[in-house]
């Protein structure tokens, strides 16, 4: 498995419950750009609409050798999930106010896949508390190294 793009901030902004693997529909120039790791998942999210899942606000840098004009870096891209998975996610999204965010795009067996995280957004005070806990843990680890 080769990681192409990663959204590290999503793990900080959301309390993730579980992960789902989805395929993604891409055109040729998008695949070529992703293989060169040219893109960004920052601010991307998943829209569930009419029984389909769409990856929205994912930027894939246009391939410089491709046809100009046809390459829209921010176009929504369709995610390939089973119908039952989409219905389950949309039901959870309406009932429990969960978010579905892309965590990473990776290549496995010649196919590009998207790992989706399902969870609730963290509040500002929860993020601050998490940062405090991390700094305390780091300080404790530093103290243990000196002994």
Q: Is the pLDDT confidence value at 102 over 90?
A: yes
Burial (0-12, 13-18, 19+ Cβ within 10 Å), 116? buried
| Separation CA 104–CA 115 (nearest Å) | 5
Check residue 66 and give its pLDDT: 62
Across the range 23-39, mean pLDDT stands at: 88
Written as one string, the DSSP assignment of 40-53 is E-TT-EEEEETTEE
Check residue 93 and give its pLDDT: 83
Residues 6+ apart with CB under 8 A from 96: 120
Q: Yes or no: say if 112 and 31 are a contact pair by the CB < 8 Å rule.
A: yes
Across the range 98-121, mean pLDDT stands at: 90
How would residue 69 be classed by pLDDT, with cut points 50, 70 and 90? Answer: low
Assess if residue 110 is contained within a domain. Answer: yes
Assess if residue 140 is contained within a domain. Answer: no
Q: Yes or no: say if 54 and 116 are a contact pair by the CB < 8 Å rule.
A: no
Check residue 28 and give its pLDDT: 83
How would residue 147 be classed by pLDDT, with cut points 50, 70 and 90? Answer: confident
Across the range 96-118, mean pLDDT stands at: 90
CATH number of the CATH domain containing 10: 2.40.280.10
Assess if residue 90 is contained within a domain. Answer: yes
Note the pLDDT tens digit of each residue in 7-26.
888 887 888 888 999 999 98
Total domain count, the chain = 1
Across the range 119-136, mean pLDDT stands at: 84
Q: Which domain holds residue 61?
A: 2-121
Assess if residue 139 is contained within a domain. Answer: no
**99: Cα separation from own chain's centroid:** 11
How would residue 68 be classed by pLDDT, with cut points 50, 70 and 90? Answer: low
Check residue 65 and give its pLDDT: 76
């Amino acid at each position: 498995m080769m990681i192409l793009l990663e959204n590290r901030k999503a793990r900080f902004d959301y309390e993730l419950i579980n992960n789902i693997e989805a395929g993604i529909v891409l055109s040729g120039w998008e695949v070529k750009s992703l293989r060169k790791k040219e893109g960004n998942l920052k601010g991307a999210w998943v829209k569930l609409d009419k029984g389909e899942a769409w990856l929205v606000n994912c930027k894939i840098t246009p391939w410089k050798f491709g046809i100009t004009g046809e390459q829209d870096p921010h176009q929504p891209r369709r995610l390939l999930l089973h119908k039952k998975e989409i219905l389950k996610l949309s039901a959870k999204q309406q009932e429990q106010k969960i978010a579905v965010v892309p965590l990473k795009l990776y290549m496995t067996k010649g196919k590009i896949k998207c790992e989706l995280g399902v969870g609730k957004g963290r509040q500002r005070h929860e993020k601050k508390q998490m940062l405090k806990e991390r700094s305390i843990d780091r300080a404790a680890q530093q103290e243990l190294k000196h002994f």
